[in-house]
Amino acid sequence: MPYRSPVGDIKFIFDHVVGLARVGETEHYAEATGDVVDAILTEAGRLCDEVMAPLQRNGDLTPARLENGVVRSSPGFAEAFGQISEGGWIGISADPEYGGMGLPGALSMAVSDMMSGACLALQLNPLLTLGQIDALEHHADDAIKALYLPKLISGEWNGTMNLTEPQAGSDVGAVASKAVDNGDGTYAVTGQKIFISWGDSDFNSNTCHLVLARLPDGAPGTRGISLFMVPKFIPDENGNPGVANSLKVVSLEHKMGLHGSPTCVMQFDGATGWMVGQPHKGMAAMFTMMNNARLSVGLQGVGVAEGAYQHALAYALERKQGQTSIENGTGTIIDFADVRRMLTTMKAEIFAARAIALDCAVALDLGRATGDADQAARAALLTPIAKAYGTDVGCQVSEMGVQVFGGMGFIEESGAAQYYRDVRVTAIYEGTNGIQAMDLVARKMMDGGEAAFRLLQEVQDAAEDTRGMMPELSKQVWVAAETLREATEALIGTEMNDRFAGAVPYLRAFARVLGAHYHLRAARAEGGKGPRSALAEFHIRRLLPEHTALLIHAAQGAAGLYALSPEDLSA
């Protein structure tokens, strides 16, 4: 499958759309100079193109398998992961005290974007480790940090996240796994967890599970859950993997896609664990990992969309079929207006989703470096949008890629369908996109909409600044932001279930407006003339108007959703 890491697009977004340079101007990230950023992106792009991308198809056709209780990875994955770990790619944003580079998280997210486009099944391994590193840095005690962080950052060990149980999916408060104090600083953890990506590996010498479980005196619901580090092998006195812990992989899930990534059913039978954070406060610690993962998953969607787009574009440039009346055509299907519509939509959506996610990452870095509460609030607001919209775009673009291929898209040998099968789960895990939308209209509006209004004011100010260069497009963006402002004001005054009923279209409308804003900034950076300006015009004229219908939908409330009874729906 053809793949070329979008280094140029990412650099452009950092330089001209989301302002990564502001992060490098802080004392905390002073080493993130322009030269360093360029070098990191360029070398990561080479790794993705030359090492990871060739494994994309192989991971699908030769899946991970469970053999005598041990996961055997797809051929080539171990060697590729060796280059990922040896290059220090897992520790880009990790604490230098433990072997990390200490660079901005936005840079780490950009690398994850490219790795996802190259080979999502393999990228999942370091993604989960990155989230665990973040959780341990924020919540673990010094002893756990000193033992685990260097191993995780180096890639010698990998990390997982164990939340879901057969009876407890999105309702984490229903977790039934138990933990009993052993009296020596350790706990005996018992229970079963499902959907554990990379729950075992044959190229990491230890797999470190962060497990949610309930102490005997833990209250019902999420307030009674604690978090434990439960390694596959218990470290010995030298910090090396020692005796096997009382845990095992029961089976691997048979999945729609991502066959190269082993998704495990894990059984813990009195396994030895160490508490991370405070008793009964496990959700706070786990949410650090989950929030990191939500932004990363949004960029997984973007990365896969990029891969699917490039695959479809290459086919459209070579497939000869039919004739068109355009002058100076190529003689291939890219001459057809509908194929151009699909490819241009794919490209416009990818740019918008990538810009939203990287803007969120920059806000996180600025909040961390400066303590600016407004930047932290901005990042919190953008996170559910970045996750939901990014993964929706991944699904939409990969499905559209199948359509560009036509009949061959339905044939597995073309490889087009793999992108859709692989990316489809991203709209489900780390909180379904419906849950992301509910978070946006509920928790993220607890400030009375202040963070949202600040962001919309920024959109309108930027549109005003561009009005002299592109008056019509700027006006459309300004008006769309004003419409979204009014809809947000109305939303805040409604009952919660009415908000939830319109949450998904509201989030999509917000993403449409933000996408137009970033496209307009891109057009301004090239003076209103050029390919980015043409793409911005396509997005603003053809995609942005959808926000009007979406906001009408969002304002309808919940009553109509219950007009049909369960019996009516079954009739």
Q: Name the residue among 540, 507, 542, 506 with its Cα closest to residue 521.
A: 540
* β-strand pairing of 206-214 with 157-162: parallel
23-82 pLDDT, tens per residue? 999 999 999 999 999 999 999 999 999 999 999 999 999 999 999 889 999 999 999 999
528-543 pLDDT, tens per residue? 999 999 999 999 999 9
Q: How confident is the model at residue 219 (pLDDT cuts 50, 70, 90)?
A: confident
Token pair listed for 498: 């009415």
3-state secondary structure of 6: coil
What average pLDDT does this structure show over 431-452? Answer: 96
Q: What are phi and psi of 192, to 5 degrees?
A: -120, 135
Count Cβ atoms below 10 Å from residue 403 Cβ, excluding itself: 14
- The pLDDT value recorded for residue 286 is 76
- The pLDDT value recorded for residue 171 is 64
- Cβ partners under 8 Å of residue 550, min gap 6: 505, 506, 508, 509, 512
In CATH terms, the fold of domain 158-279 is Butyryl-CoA Dehydrogenase, subunit A; domain 2 (2.40.110)
Q: How confident is the model at residue 169 (pLDDT cuts 50, 70, 90)?
A: low
Domain spans, the chain: 7-153, 158-279, 432-562
Contact predicate 310/324, CB 8 Å:
no
Q: How confident is the model at residue 176 (pLDDT cuts 50, 70, 90)?
A: confident
Q: What are phi and psi of 244, to 5 degrees?
A: -70, 140
Dihedral, CA of residue 413, residue 417, residue 422 and residue 428, to nearest 10: -160
Q: Residue 293 pLDDT > 90, yes or no?
A: no
List 267's β-bridge partners, or say none: 192, 248
Q: Which of 430, 486, 489, 526 is catalytic?
A: 430
Is 430 annotated in the active site? Answer: yes
- The pLDDT value recorded for residue 564 is 94
Burial class (CB in 10 A: 0-12, 13-18, 19+), 38: middle
3-state secondary structure of 290: helix
For residue 315, CA distances in Å to 325, 329, 405, 496 come to 21, 16, 7, 47
In CATH terms, the fold of domain 7-153 is Butyryl-Coa Dehydrogenase, subunit A; domain 1 (1.10.540)
List 162's β-bridge partners, or say none: 211
What average pLDDT does this structure show over 495-499? Answer: 97
- The pLDDT value recorded for residue 2 is 79
Contact predicate 268/85, CB 8 Å:
no
Dihedral sign for Cα 484, 490, 494, 498, please. negative
Q: Which pTM does this prediction carry?
A: 0.96
Residue written as tokens 């959780």?
135
3-state secondary structure of 247: strand
Q: What percent of the chain has pLDDT over 90?
A: 91
Average pLDDT, the chain: 95
What average pLDDT does this structure show over 233-241? Answer: 95
